[in-house]
Amino acid sequence: MSRVRLLVGTRKGAFVLESDGTRKDWTVSGPHFAGWEVYHLKASPLNPDRIYASQTSAWFGQVVQRSDDGGKTWAAAGNKFLYEGVAGTHQWYDGTPHPWEFKRVWHLEPSLFDPEVVFAGAEDAALFRSTDGAASWTELAGLRKHGSGPNWAPGAGGMCLHTIVQDPSDARRMFIAISAAGAFRTDDGGETWKAINQGLRSQHIPDPNAEVGHCVHHIAMHPSRPQTLFMQKHWDVMRTDNAGDQWSEVSGNLPTDFGFVIDVHAHEPETVYVVPIKSDSEHFPMDGALRVYRSRGGGNEWEALTAGLPQKDCYVNVLRDAMSVDSLDKCGVYFGTTGGQVYASADGGDSWNAIVRDLPAVLSVEAQTLA
């Protein structure tokens, strides 16, 4: 029988949750790396017991951990993230030039094509690649040296490269997103990059339609449709059907189009999930009611999913990497909150239950479907 493993990163450690295919009863192991922030964990799609974790601390810097037994044991891997050449400057919050300084890894993305290759998205924004299972890292500097780099500026959470999406049909194509620069695409394996922000409109920047400066929060793709991407921007839910060359807004009837997470159903490429958050100054659900919204038509028409979710006095947030889906039939959907709950739906979002309630604030959730 198939199993599901959830990799949960929190403010104070990592947790591994497992269930059989019924997804009713869950075991919880952890905290791993207790006391450290774990921004993200993700397993190799080619070797499911190979898991990478980004362990970070304001005191002790960045550590990358690797497990080769499905999260039972871990070993520190390479953590030397050096920018290539002269790091240069980007814009600081006040508009002055600020040196590029490595702070942490927000996202780890194991390759779809090579079990030894893994990508790391960093703050200050840069993309690194390891070809030896995270033992060593090399910057893909073509991104940071995109001509617009000196004009990139941090969002409130820092200038982070937080989203890495690979095209399963083309190993040379990849999408990344940076707060608050925008989305970028490479078609040559990371050598050169193109800003793909046409159609985004951000009222908080001097030119709302600028090439860069957009606070993209997350991007999701269904593997069968690599030309179609869904984006939760700071405000606005967007989609593109030409690999980012042009975006259009699909916020439709959402009660608020601010939010962080977005994901796509495992078997229905036009079924999309978001968790609307009231505003950028009030990072909690509207009216104290936690609602996932689902569109079955690729956006514009959204339905609230509330069964099993708290509908009063709920003031948690759901951060950008904290939603994931499994590939069982029916599709499982999972998300974690800053209140320490991980909610699961085993029926595509129709009903939910909290499989853990009292973890530290959840930073990331990744679901693995295991044979």
Partner 1 sequence: MKIRVELPANLCRLAHVAPLVELEAGEQPTQRSMMEALEAKLPALQGTVRDHTTQLRRPYLRFFACNEDISHQDIDQHLPEAVASGNEPLLIVGAVSGG
- Cβ distance to partner 1 smaller for residue 56 or 368: 56
- Phi and psi, residue 44, nearest 5°: -70, 130
- Cβ distance to partner 1 smaller for residue 89 or 311: 89
CB of 260 to partner 1, least distance (A): 23
- Cβ distance to partner 1 smaller for residue 102 or 175: 102
CB of 94 to partner 1, least distance (A): 21
- Cβ distance to partner 1 smaller for residue 11 or 267: 11
Q: List Cα–Cα distances, 78 to 12, 41, 52, 131, 271, in angstroms.
A: 21, 15, 11, 12, 38
- Cβ distance to partner 1 smaller for residue 101 or 280: 101
Burial of 75 (0-12, 13-18, 19+ CB in 10 A): exposed
CB of 46 to partner 1, least distance (A): 26
Tell me the H-state helices in 269-362: none
Q: Which amino acid is at 367?
A: A
CB of 60 to partner 1, least distance (A): 4
**For 160, left (φ over 0), alpha (ψ -120 to 50), or beta?**
beta
Structure-token pair, residue 303:
């339905």
CB of 126 to partner 1, least distance (A): 12
Which residues share a beta bridge with 12? none
- Residue 141 is classified by DSSP as H
- Cβ distance to partner 1 smaller for residue 136 or 353: 136
Q: Which residues are at the interface with partner 1 (CB under 8 A)?
A: 33-36, 57-63, 76, 79-83, 101-102
Q: Which residue in 241, 231, 233 sits closest to 214, CA to CA?
A: 233
CB of 127 to partner 1, least distance (A): 17
Q: Which residue in 180, 145, 152 sits closest to 91, CA to CA?
A: 152
